[in-house]
Amino acid sequence: QVQLVQSGAEVKKPGSSVKVSCKASGGTFSTYAISWVRQAPGQGLEWMGRIIPILGVANYAQKFQGRVTITADKSTTTAYMELSSLRSEDTAVYYCARGESSTGSLDYWGQGTLVTVSS
Amino acid sequence: QSVLTQPPSVSGAPGQRVTISCTGSSSNIGAAYDVHWYQQLPGTAPKLLIYGNSNRPSGVPDRFSGSKSGTSASLAITGLQAEDEADYYCQSYDSSLSGSGVFGGGTKLTVL
């Protein structure tokens, strides 16, 4: 049974950074992509980027280029998403999700991590 | 402004059939990228409902079905039930965005 367990809620000041973790279990971590998706309060889903751990290569949505870094540690089967230069508009629930190899569907999701950016 | 366009809301009475459209372009749905659908109940993480345009993961009732044609896709729900009330999102990838993932804006389904 695949499970993705994310780190807890964070409160951050504008201009700071946040790093959210996503611990995977029950599957073959390295060969699947891990995507990060966020959802601002009352809004829709927004794809931020993904990494394929076995390749160590990440790609990012243009909107977040230069501000987001997605990494993966194969030894601990954990993926990370770090977002810098935080502003109030970054207040959202951040989800990690596993990308199925052949279709790219996001078949397993973490429980979400609320990041609140407030002075 | 989402890359994929969905109606903001749809509604139907119990037992009825509803459809949710997802309109893209030649660089995403029309470029042969698969379309996937997710259901999000209030306060919970999204759940994969349809993958690869028309396939249901194990455990998803056959009341849910998906299709794709050209630059559009649709999700159909038959025999509406109260527990189907949720937000639904389509998702694909886009070649003009370097293969980035893209979502529709979401559709709120209300069961009357």
> What pLDDT is stored for residue B54 in this prediction?
97
Q: Is B95 strand, coil or helix?
A: helix
Q: Which of A37, A45, A103 sits opposite B34 (nearest CB)?
A: A103
List chain A residues with CB under 8 Å of B98.
59, 62
- Is 90 exceeded by the pLDDT of residue B53? yes
List chain B residues with CB under 8 Å of A102.
52
The pLDDT of A33-58, averaged and rounded, is 94
Cβ separation B36–A106 shorter than 8 A: yes
> What pLDDT is stored for residue A29 in this prediction?
80
- Is 90 exceeded by the pLDDT of residue B76? yes
Q: Which of B36, B57, B89 sits opposite A44 (nearest CB)?
A: B89
Q: Report the C-alpha gap between A108 and B49 in whole angstroms.
A: 11
Q: Are A93 and A114 in contact (CB under 8 A)?
A: yes
Q: What is the nearest CA distance from A48 to chain B, expressed in angstroms?
A: 8
Nearest CA in chain A to B36: A105
> What pLDDT is stored for residue A28 in this prediction?
83
Cβ separation A47–B102 shorter than 8 A: yes
- Is 80 exceeded by the pLDDT of residue A30? no
List chain A residues with CB under 8 Å of B105.
44
Q: Report the C-alpha gap between B42 and B24 in whole angstroms.
A: 26
| Site from B51, B55, B92 to mutate, A interface, most A CB atoms within 10 angstroms | B51
Give the CA-trace dihedral at A59, A60, A66, A67, to 10 degrees: -130
* AA identity, residue B97: L
How is residue A41 written in tokens? 């309060």
Cβ separation B36–A112 shorter than 8 A: no
> What pLDDT is stored for residue B98 in this prediction?
87
> What pLDDT is stored for residue B99 in this prediction?
87
Mean pLDDT of chain B: 96
> What pLDDT is stored for residue B44 in this prediction?
97
CA distance between the termini of chain B: 28
Instruction: List, for residues A50-100, the tens digit of each pLDDT value.
Output: 999 888 889 999 999 999 999 999 999 999 999 999 999 999 999 999 998
Cβ separation B104–A109 shorter than 8 A: no
Cβ separation B100–A46 shorter than 8 A: no
Give the contacts of A117 (CB within 8 A, at least 6 positions apart): A12, A13, A14, A86, A87, A88, A89, A90, A91
Nearest CA in chain B to A45: B103
Q: Which of B34, B48, B103 sits opposite A44 (nearest CB)?
A: B103
> What pLDDT is stored for residue B92 in this prediction?
97
> What pLDDT is stored for residue A112 in this prediction?
98
Residue A34, CA distances (Å) to A53, A114, B27, B42, B71 in order: 8, 18, 23, 24, 26
The pLDDT of B6-22, averaged and rounded, is 97
